[in-house]
Amino acid sequence: MLEEVFRDEWGRVLASLVGFLGDFDKAEEAAQEAFAIAAERWPASGMPANPGAWLVTTARNRSIDRIRRERTLAEKIHLLPAPEAIMDEFDDTVIKDERLELIFTCCHPALPLEGQVALTLRALGGLETAEIARAFLVSEETMKRRLSRAKTKIKATGIPFAVPGAHLLPDRLDAVLAVIYLIYNEGYRGRVDLGAEAIRLGRVLAALMPDEPEAHGLLALMMIHHARRRARFSGEDLVLLDDQDRSLWDMRQIVAGRAVLDRAIALGGRGAYVVQAAIASLQTRERIDWPQVTELYRRLADLTGSPVVELNRAAALAQAGDPAAALRAIDRLDLDGYLYFHSTRGELLRRLGREDEARAAYRRAIDLATSTPERRFLTRRLEQL
Amino acid sequence: MQYALLIYAEPGYDQALPDAEREAAYAEYLALADDARCIGAAHLQPAETATSVRVVGGRTLMTDGPFADTKEVLGGFCLVEAANLDEAIELAARIPAARLGGAVEVRPVVPR
């Protein structure tokens, strides 16, 4: 219970402290101190009416005390020049939500991408360094260094704690969305906790930027995908959309995801995340409208120029009933190093009765497989030929 | 905060431009140098004029050429005063070399 409140409040409290102290490490230290005091007191005294405000106030007071102590010490030994005034007065009834500033700082493109991801999970998501390390299969020491390098760069280079101005916003919002989606996709590979974490972050972002269709689009996309996660594997084996046990889908989350998608579309959203969410939504319908899925993939290909999207468009075209046209489209693509290029080709060749070529394509795909479930899945398809 | 904008480009990239474009690029360099936020700027002579100096055991050793032998070379720099990294990056992006195949390295200056 307490833990849940802490997770919910961490980002807001930390954001407020970074804004106040202008220093990531000091803010983290102060936040941790305040949470520790709360963990000690709240079980006995009960939770305050506004836990977030209580935590921020406590953390601010503590850090002001510490700054005063350090200053007194410094004055005594004449090490530092006279300090500039620090504001003591602050209204603890209105604590500004500065999480959006924090998100844009953490996802600043001047930081290495892995640093952006780690810092976003730590600062906004409230994950412990050890948890993030486990999620990305690196040692805690490595993750600690990664976080510390990112924080050092923020401070040394003057990365602003601010929501970018209108002329920078579109690019910078794209960067934020990309970080959250990357976190989601790490979870998609079987580590469900990161998927849920990305959805939490997506929710925060959509709430903080209620008029940005792509923020809603990304959230909808993640929710709808995530709702199918239990059906995606059977034991260790991958299960394709067609063969998934729909009773394992979380229909409530799908419905909720569609509502978020509706909001994105109502805001005029036609961007890449909105289109992908629309495709994901169509694919959870009782009868899938493949011609429409094909059309949405075409739009997505126009937006992204990605050959992988073209591959998906071709696969949808085959589902819509034209495997020959799909194969022609696929053979125009330059994706020889891509596993799903060969597995999709194999499937189309099989449907067209060209079994020898299908076998060769599946063998090539198996050569490119990097995970055991992928390899087992492809081997089964090959054996079924 | 002060930032150094270090301009790297292939030697002669400006000579390869059509006359009008080259003139426009030079004008942009001058405009940037005149910007109030620009504290200092320099256009360096070609890398062939460089001498790298090391002092080893009290002796001054010289080698002909730039410190790092790379395709892109340091061709000039600006020292700017900017509110934060975003502002410094906006100034860096105005440097013609950045869009003409080169790159501008933005480095915060250690305050004195």
pLDDT digits 0-9 by tens, A149-199: 999 999 999 999 999 999 999 999 999 999 999 999 887 554 547 899 999
A158:B106 CB<8 A: no
Instruction: Give residue A79's pLDDT band: very low, low, confident or very high (50, 70, 90).
Output: low
Element (H, E) at A179: helix A169-188
At A7 the pLDDT is: 85
At A205 the pLDDT is: 96
Residue A86 pLDDT > 50: no
DSSP one-letter code for B53: E
Contacts of A171 in chain B (CB under 8 A): none
Residue B44 pLDDT > 50: yes
Residue A125 pLDDT > 60: yes
Instruction: Give residue A117's pLDDT band: very low, low, confident or very high (50, 70, 90).
Output: very high
At A96 the pLDDT is: 82
Question: Among the listed ranges A192-196, A279-283, A320-324, B85-89, which one has the minimum average pLDDT value?
Answer: A192-196
At A90 the pLDDT is: 47
Residue A135 pLDDT > 90: no
CA distance A191 to B23: 56
Residue A168: which of B1, B86, B108 has the nearest Cβ? Answer: B86
At A178 the pLDDT is: 95
Contacts of A108 in chain B (CB under 8 A): 85
Average pLDDT, chain A: 90
CA distance A100 to A163: 7
At A288 the pLDDT is: 94
Contacts of A164 in chain B (CB under 8 A): 86
Of the candidates A261, A294, A291, A263, the residue with the CA atom closest to the CA atom of residue A278? A261
Instruction: Give residue A279's pLDDT band: very low, low, confident or very high (50, 70, 90).
Output: very high
Percent of chain B with pLDDT over 70: 100
Question: Which of A101, A107, A157, A172 would best serve as a mutation to test chain B binding (most B beta carbons within 10 A)?
Answer: A157
Of the candidates A39, A93, A34, the residue with the CA atom closest to the CA atom of residue A65? A34
Alpha carbon separation from A185 to A179, A248, B47 (Å, rounded): 10, 20, 46
Q: What is the pLDDT of residues A228-277, one digit of tens each?
A: 988 988 887 788 888 899 999 999 999 999 999 999 999 999 999 999 99
What b/e string do you get for A119-156 counting C-beta neighbours within 10 Å, with b at 16 or more?
bbbbbbbbbebebbbbbbeeeeeebeebbebbbebbee
Quick one: how many helices (H) and strands (E) in chain B?
3, 6
Residue A94 pLDDT > 50: yes
Residue of A nearest to B3 (CA): A157
Amino acid at A96: K
At A5 the pLDDT is: 85
CA distance A153 to A141: 18
CA distance A239 to A303: 29
ipTM of the complex: 0.87
pTM of the predicted model as reported, rounded to 2 decimal places:
0.87
Residue A321 pLDDT > 80: yes
DSSP one-letter code for B111: P
Residue A200 pLDDT > 80: yes
At A87 the pLDDT is: 41
At A290 the pLDDT is: 96
Of the candidates A62, A51, A42, A47, the residue with the CA atom closest to the CA atom of residue A7? A51
At B87 the pLDDT is: 96
Instruction: Pick the more confident residue, A193 or A134.
Output: A134
At A351 the pLDDT is: 93
